[in-house]
Amino acid sequence: MNLESWRNDGVLIVGGGIAGLALAGALYRQGVPCELVERAPAWAPVGAGIVLGVNAMKMLRELGLADALENNARLLEVMSITDSDNRILARTNLADLQPRFGASLALHRSALHDVLLENARHVPIRMGTTVESAEEREESVEVRFSSGDTARFGLMVGADGLHSRVRELTFGPLPLRYSGYTCWRTVVDGGGTEVGGQEMWGVGKRFGLVPLDRDRVYCFAVVNAPAEEPDPASDRIHRLRKEFSEFGGPVPHLLDQLRQPEELIKNDLHEIVHRPWHRGRVVLVGDAAHGMMPDMGQGAAMALEDVWVLSQLIASELPLEETLASWMDRRKRRVRWVQNQSRRIGWVGQWRHPLACRVRNELTHLLPDSATTRVLARLARQRV
């Protein structure tokens, strides 16, 4: 199984999210034949906001996409943690990192999607299509699509997110771990001139806000709740206003801006901890491999790092088995660390006992600003 034979058979990318589109563009640039299938019948307006930390931006620079993004994004200079009365507990000075590692950005997800899609414009994309089955052959993987036709590829990449079908086809059904908390996201009017984002810690709940531009703020609201709790649209806005009624600072004003319950995206927050991320001619990237808690804002960053390293290795002279083994070797320690840290931060952020929360907040208040900034500097400095 040498490089030429499997590379010439092409790469099938399953899933046109951040990982899949970024990989499609990267492989095209390297002259590796690839195609992509996306389950959604058409591209719909994508999500709410997203923060791209220094390491995500580093990857986007490597992929040649940073300039296009910077035109549609807000430079993020600081991220603060406050209590529910808006008292600052900790600050991460992203501006301090900028001279050494570059900018952190906040933007609408659809702006990121547009740039990734434009970059992958030469790659054939089949919408409304998924993979029904995949069988390993001696020199290829044979895929049957939901459309009924079949095709052979040298490699299949599962970039199909947390609930990955490719993962299930390759490793069987694997349980996701539910965090115990659920999240609503939306973008509301009212950006202003703030240069920073903020996460407000209450008791068993958090409220986050990140200005995207002068007119829009990305908001997220996290509460402890059982998985799959009913969330009727008729009661959604009222419920959120009630859940966060004790929050001060900008929260009452932002909650007042909510108009359409359908604009609130709800996700029960799950993660998947499973290794390995490859078997035979199949490899998983991004959330399909290691969907994590969003509490460090690092899921997309890890997906972009996966893609960049994998595309570099695919373009190198290694046989397939070595390509995938080297890729996993490069990625596993760093991803595990981020996944564990994200889970811990989320767990502490969602504490539900008032006394424990008071102690948590006081201890966080004692942390020097440099402590949280150092974590990001470490991520930016380390080899991906």
Ligand X SMILES: Cc1cc2nc3c(=O)[nH]c(=O)nc-3n(C[C@H](O)[C@H](O)[C@H](O)COP(=O)(O)OP(=O)(O)OC[C@H]3O[C@@H](n4cnc5c(N)ncnc54)[C@H](O)[C@@H]3O)c2cc1C
Q: Give the residues lining the site for ligand X (CB under 6 A).
A: 14-20, 37-40, 50-51, 56, 130, 159-161, 165, 183, 185, 220, 267, 286-288, 294, 297-301, 303
Indicate the residue among 163 and 358 with the shorter CB distance to ligand X: 163
CB of 376 to ligand X, least distance (A): 12
CA dihedral 112, 113, 118, 123 (to 10 degrees): 130
Question: Cβ 193 to ligand X, closest distance in Å?
Answer: 21
Taking the C-alpha atoms of residue 121 and residue 132, their distance in angstroms, rounded to an integer, is: 25
| Tokens matching residue 266 | 């709800």
Give CA–CA dist 193/351, Å, rounded.
Answer: 32
Closer CB to ligand X, 202 or 294, in the complex: 294
Query: 263: exposed, middle or buried (C-beta count within 10 Å: 0-12, 13-18, 19+)?
Result: middle
Which lies closer to ligand X via its Cβ, residue 268 or residue 322? 268
Taking the CA atoms of residue 258, residue 263, residue 269 and residue 275 in that order, the dihedral angle to the nearest 10 degrees is: -150
Minimum CB–partner distance for residue 67 and ligand X (Å): 19
Amino acid at 181: Y
Among candidates 384, 200, 171, which has minimal Cα distance to 298? 384
Q: Which one, 110 or 298, has the nearer CB to ligand X? A: 298
DSSP 42-108: S-----SEEEE-HHHHHHHHHTT-HHHHHTTSEEP-EEEEEETT--EEEEEEHHHHHHHH---EEEE
Residue whose entry in the numeric block shows the structure tokens 């570099």: 312
Q: Is the Cα torsion angle 235, 258, 83, 302 positive or negative in sign? A: positive
Name the minimum Å distance from CB 37 to ligand X.
Answer: 5
Closest residue to bound ligand X by CB: 17
Of how many residues is the chain composed?
Answer: 384
In the complex with ligand X, the residue whose CB is nearer, 292 or 366, is: 292
Number of C-beta neighbours around residue 110 at 10 A: 19
**CB 160 → ligand X: shortest distance, Å?**
4
Q: Shortest Cβ distance from residue 359 to ligand X (Å)?
A: 27
Nearest to ligand X of 293, 324 (CB atom): 293
Give me the least distance between CB of 19 and ligand X, in Å please. 3
Dist CA 375 CA 269 (whole Å): 23
41 CB-contact burial (10 Å; exposed 0-12 / middle 13-18 / buried 19+)? exposed
Residue nearer to ligand X on the CB measure, 82 or 342: 342
What is the closest distance, in whole angstroms, from the C-beta atom of residue 358 to ligand X in the complex?
26
Minimum CB distance to ligand X smaller for 83 or for 160: 160
